[in-house]
Amino acid sequence: MPEHAGQPTEYNERKFPHIAYVACRDYGMTDNKLAKLFGVCKATITNWKRDHPEFLASVHKGKREFDTDKVADAMLKRALGYKYKEVTKEMGFDPISEPDPDDPEKTVVIAGKPVLRITKEVTKHMAGDVGAQKMWLVNRAQRDPETGEREWNNVSSVQLSGPDGKDLKIVTEIGILPVKAPERPPDETTEAPAEKSAPFEAKV
pLDDT at 148: 65
Q: Which residues contact 195 (CB under 8 A, 6 or more apart)?
A: none
Q: Which residues contact 47 (CB under 8 A, 6 or more apart)?
A: none
Per-residue model confidence as pLDDT tens digits over 144-155: 667 666 666 666
Mean pLDDT of 7-35: 89
pLDDT at 1: 43
* pLDDT at 2 exceeding the cut of 60: no
DSSP H helical ranges for 111-165? 130-140
The residue that leads in pLDDT, 31 or 179, is 31
Per the CB < 8 A criterion, the answer to whether 117 and 89 are in contact is yes
> Percentage of residues in the chain with pLDDT exceeding 70?
63
Mean pLDDT of 39-67: 93
Alpha carbon separation from 80 to 53, 65, 77, 123 (Å, rounded): 40, 22, 5, 17
Rounded-to-integer distance, Cα 107 and Cα 37, Å: 57
pLDDT at 6: 45
pLDDT at 191: 57
Q: Which residues contact 150 (CB under 8 A, 6 or more apart)?
A: 138, 141, 142, 143, 144
pLDDT band at 182 (very low <50, low <70, confident <90, very high): low
* pLDDT at 40 exceeding the cut of 90: yes
Rounded-to-integer distance, Cα 84 and Cα 184, Å: 79
pLDDT band at 119 (very low <50, low <70, confident <90, very high): confident
Nearest to 71 by CA among 132, 141, 152: 132
Q: What is the DSSP letter of 164?
A: G
Rounded-to-integer distance, Cα 65 and Cα 18, Å: 14
pLDDT at 176: 56
pLDDT at 97: 74
In the chain, domain spans:
1-79, 82-125
> Percentage of residues in the chain with pLDDT exceeding 90?
26
What rounded mean pLDDT belongs to the chain? 77
Mean pLDDT of 29-51: 94
